[in-house]
Amino acid sequence: MTKTDRASVAAEAIALFTRLGTLHYGEKVSQLDHALQCAHNARLAGEGAAMIAAALLHDIGHLLHHEGEDAATRGIDTRHEITGADWLRERFGPEVSEPVRLHVDAKRYLALRQPTYVASLSPASLESLELQGGAMDEAEATRFEQEPHHAAALRLRDYDDLGKKDRDDLPAFESYHDMLVRLARQG
């Protein structure tokens, strides 16, 4: 992939968030605000570029499905993590796509392993947890722990859960353009 092609990947992500980032999907913050907060939290934690990109783009599947922002309230699990990971896999490496694919499983895992975790979730996240299968059972947790990117998915989950506050002091989505260009697949 040429640098121009890699730049078009970054432009495509920016265009999606520009066009659809005002949607909320049950949260009090928009998808754009959520993405920026998650990426900012990853950056503050000292994460590398791939994790920052995963945090920025982890909910891109919400912008790609056609179920509407009220899908969860209608009882539909859009499987946004799979849609998003598939889109990201075509454009970035597994360091970006795999934590995204596993971030819902990470929520289900934490619901099993950390007794106070469920009580900390937002109402929308609680609603989606139910649709996504609720807390894992032990067999599912064992399989999750064997996933090569499970630790990254757990960190991403932390950034996801923290990224739901009203804030307006974050860098613009476009400020991640050059990082996304560098991370885009090269062939």
Angle between helices 150-162 and 49-57 (to 10 degrees): 50
In angstroms, the CA 131 to CA 49 distance is: 31
CATH number at residue 121: 1.10.3210.10
Q: What is the pLDDT of residue 169?
A: 87
| Confidence grade of residue 187 (pLDDT, cut at 50, 70, 90) | very low
40-57, pLDDT tens digit by residue?
999 999 999 999 999 999
In angstroms, the CA 107 to CA 90 distance is: 25
Q: What angle do CA 45, 79, 105 make, to 5 degrees?
A: 50
More confident residue, 70 or 92: 92
Domain that holds residue 144: 3-183
Count CB-CB contacts under 10 A for residue 28: 13
Residue 77 has pLDDT above 70, yes or no: no
Rounded to an integer, the average pLDDT of 128-149 is 96
4-29, pLDDT tens digit by residue?
588 899 999 999 999 998 988 778 89
Query: What tokens appear for 56 in the block?
Result: 């920025």
Rounded to an integer, the average pLDDT of 53-74 is 86
Instruction: Return the DSSP state at 135.
Output: S
Number of structural domains the chain divides into: 1
Q: Are 4 and 181 in contact (CB under 8 A)?
A: no
**Overall pTM > 0.85:** yes
Buried b (16+ CB within 10 A) or exposed e, 83-119: bbbebbbebbebbbbbbbbbbbbbbbbbbbeeeebbe
